[in-house]
Amino acid sequence: MNYLHFELQDLLAEALSAMEGRRYDDATAALRRALACVEADWLATPSDAGHGVAGPAAADDPDDGDH
């Protein structure tokens, strides 16, 4: 399971809270971490994109013994 959505939600909430508290350096740091997560996921190679999750090709393995 990919938890990127939850991590981004936490980072954006942290940034918003910091902005409301006028802690702009903390807000900037949280936004930079969120951007780094998005960039890493967006620039991931196909082998990295699933983060270890088996894709449809693994589910349709012809040597699984069902045939």
pLDDT in tens, 29-56: 999 999 998 898 888 766 655 554 444 4
Spatial distance between the Cα atoms of 51 and 4, rounded to a whole number of angstroms: 11
Spatial distance between the Cα atoms of 14 and 32, rounded to a whole number of angstroms: 12
Quick: pLDDT tens for 5-16.
Answer: 899 999 999 999
Long-range contacts of 7-12 (CB under 8 A, 24+ apart): 7/37, 8/34, 8/37, 8/38, 11/37
**pTM tops 0.75:** no
